[in-house]
Chain A
Amino acid sequence: MATITMKPFKTPELFLECSNISPDVFAGKSPSEISKLEVREGKIRNELGDFFEVTGTSGTTAEDTDIVIEGDCSRVKYIGMKMTAGSITLNGNADMYVGGWMKGGSIHVKGNVDSFCGIAMEGGEIQVDGDAQNYVGCAYRGDWRGMRGGTIHIHGSAGNDIGTFMLGGTIIIEKNAFIHVSTHAEGGTVIIKGDVQGRVGGQMVKGDIYVLGDVTYMLPGFKEIGQVDKTIAGQDITFRHFIGDLGERHPKKKGQEIYGNLFLRASSPSGIPQ
């Protein structure tokens, strides 16, 4: 494995668009070649080297290229965009689109991320030690093909619109989420270990949602059908099992309608009557 280290030394006036920060792009390039890669600040074309000091060596392929960013990227978008292999470790915060359209490899952000983390992700792994803003693992506007694979693990809290149009893969939120989880989903798994305010599984066709904390407002289109025991993140937990969204269309398999599943921890201090 070979490592490229990037040290930000200048904060852009606006925001930097750095879709080139990816093992796929860096592989086979020297630090000086990497420094010359284009980044955009609005309509201004800059080079990566104008904002980052680049050292180390890259691997011959994405797979054997690790990127370590030592410093804050709060004003840097598109880190790890479309990457297929290798790794990115960011010791700081990142702006929007971390791991957008990602297909493989891994990203570890040790701080917070802004919105659209893992948008339309197909594979690989994203770890965020801090919080995420909105649209974790969502679809691009208008696309019915949202997150299809891979894992997004947010160790803090997340905002609204998690897993919109999700088709596959897993999203884990360790703390709380705000509203709108798995809207329009047709697959995939979302696990929220904290509380969610509401609109969980709205217009959901298929897929699984686990909430270990509380759901303040349950949608009327979800119906409780019993209790199940499941092992989630190594814990054996008893869940109340809801199906829905009963207002939405559902496909049939062997004459049986397939619904979305919402598993709400039975011991949650939920206001939803048993």
Chain B
Amino acid sequence: MPKLITQVGCPYCGAACDDLEILVSDDGKKILETRNACVIGSEIFHHATSSNRLTRPRLRQPDGSFKETTYEEAIDYTAKALLHAKKPLIYGFGSTNCEGMSAVGRVSEKAGAVLDNCASICHGPSFLAIFDNGYPSCTLGEIKNRADVVVFWGCNPMHAHPRHTSRYSIFPRGFFTNRGQKHRTVICVDPRETDTAKLADHHLMVKQGHDYDLFDAFRTVLRGHDIPKEVAGIEKARILEAAEKMKNARFVMIFFGMGCTHTDGRNHNVDIAISLTRDLNDQTKASIMAMRGHYNIAGPGQVWSWQFGFPYCIDLSKGTHAHMNPGETSSVDLAMRDEVDCFVNVGTDAGAHFPIEAVKHLKNHPFITVDPNINMASEISDLHIPVRIVGVEEPGVVYRMDNVPIQFKKVIDGPEGVPSDEELFDRVYLRMCELTQTEPIWIHEKTHVPTTTSQVD
């Protein structure tokens, strides 16, 4: 009898839906059917048992080809590369669990590495804004139960977070919003007529790159001052109308995405959006939230904040303390300036996401990818180490876009012999300890197999 596993978390987007139902074959090895998931989420589950899954690490050979190798050898190679480098960069974590991120924290400290995550090229500007201005936010249930004006600014959940609008933000009937969509006024600010914009009651087609000006206009209007007759390509009357909607709402929710963080202004767009949220709280109730991309990309921001005090761009090379200053310690800047001499790409695809110049610099040094899948980064790596897929083959804690922890399940067993991120990095750590003849520091009792015992030369 196939088995139906319910309340399964989805390892795709930051909405981290945890109501999926997965039908698994009798032997617990094959995923037969997914229910409740969006098409992308569904694909992740089906992909897990596709025939082209890698189950052993591949090491680049002198002739440029990849050759399959053992995990022991891959761990040894990684440990030595990290120890040898003056300043390695460990980056990624778009798709791992918090357990893996925690294990990497220990490795990075030992390696004197810079530890960074995909926020660096995504919602990093949001962190900069949070550092400077705070983050008046809420959990997604508050929007479902209370929000009557919902603003989508520079984000398009209809494509990027397919179930966001139905589970949390536009359609659901909540406790104080029992008429669902009819209860809510939706405002979309986007230079394009996206599918989200099409759903909106008001679409403000902001002139590309002038979000900051438009935020400033809203703030100025809310304080009772006049504004020019057009700001950022929007007529004054339309700005006044939208401002009035927000002011008269019972609960205003502002969602923002990469349209804020990666157009001109970047962190400042988010910073002033936060200021607008603060202003609105003097008149009504308002909240703001970053539309985080991956299901657990809020995770490293949490785990590393409690371990090191910083969410990303953490330079651990000083040994005594961590240092963070994006612009200096951010992955792309480090790569572009040729400031690191070893690169480990974990659970993401820096090959596809980084500027080509940055990748070229990184390619001058050891380049390692840890990821279940083949991607552009893995194909240019010196070493590719496959791991289990979190949420499918490996359980663990993930942080949803609203920083709510969700305990993901596994639904099938991973391929024989393939470790989780956590196991892999704990083994790398233990190998680094062996090579440096040092005692491991407070590593929780685990069953990870220690590797061979040869010393560093």
Contacts and interface: CB of A to CB of B under 8 A. Distances in A.
> So, do A and B actually touch in the complex, CB under 8 Å?
yes
Given A14-B87, A40-B318, A247-B220, 15 more contacts: A13-B341, A42-B86, A43-B87, A183-B268, A198-B213, A202-B272, A203-B272, A217-B213, A220-B220, A220-B228, A221-B216, A221-B227, A245-B220, A247-B216, A248-B275
Which residue among B218, B220, B265, B271 has the maximum number of chain A CB atoms within 10 Å of its CB? B220
Interface stretch (A47-55, A60-68, A134-142): A134-142
B3 interface: no
Which residue among B213, B216, B223 has the maximum number of chain A CB atoms within 10 Å of its CB? B216
Contacts of B235: none
Contacts of B70: none
Contacts of B128: 141
A40 B85 CA distance: 13
Given A142-B132, A199-B268, A13 B86 contact: yes
Interface string B209-249: 01011011111101101111001000000000000000000
Contacts of B218: 247
Contacts of A44: 86
Contacts of B271: 183-184, 203
A166 to B, nearest CB: 13
B405 interface: no
A14 B216 contact: no
B45 to A, nearest CB: 39
DSSP majority for the B interface? loop
10 contacts: A13-B86, A14-B338, A41-B87, A141-B326, A198-B213, A220-B217, A220-B231, A221-B217, A247-B216, A247-B218
A55 B419 CA distance: 56
Nearest to B327: A115
B219 A165 contact: no
B223 A116 contact: no
Nearest to A247: B219
B112 interface: yes
B220 A221 contact: yes
Interface of B: 85-87, 111-112, 128, 131-132, 210, 212-213, 215-220, 222-223, 225-228, 231, 264-265, 268, 271-272, 275, 279, 317-319, 324-328, 337-341
Contact of A202 (B87, B268, B317, B319): B268
B339 A247 contact: no
Contacts of A184: 132, 271
A43 B86 contact: yes
A199 B231 contact: no
A209 interface: no
Contacts of A144: 132
Interface string A139-152: 01110100000000
B341 A14 contact: yes
B422 to A, nearest CB: 24
Nearest to B338: A14
A199 B266 CA distance: 12
A56 B264 CA distance: 49
A221 B228 CA distance: 9
Which residue among B210, B268, B271 has the maximum number of chain A CB atoms within 10 Å of its CB? B268
Nearest to B264: A179
B382 to A, nearest CB: 19
A25 interface: no
A107 interface: no
Contacts of B341: 13-14, 42
A115 B328 CA distance: 8
A96 interface: yes
Contact of A199 (B217, B265, B339): B265
B393 to A, nearest CB: 35
Contact of A116 (B216, B219, B325, B338): B325
A27 B220 CA distance: 52
B131 A220 contact: no
B213 A42 contact: no
A245 B216 contact: yes
A13 B227 CA distance: 53
A134 B216 contact: no
B225 A221 contact: yes
Contact of B213 (A142, A183, A220): A220
A165 B267 CA distance: 14
Contacts of B111: 43
Given A40-B318, A42-B341, A141-B131, A199 B212 contact: yes
A246 interface: yes
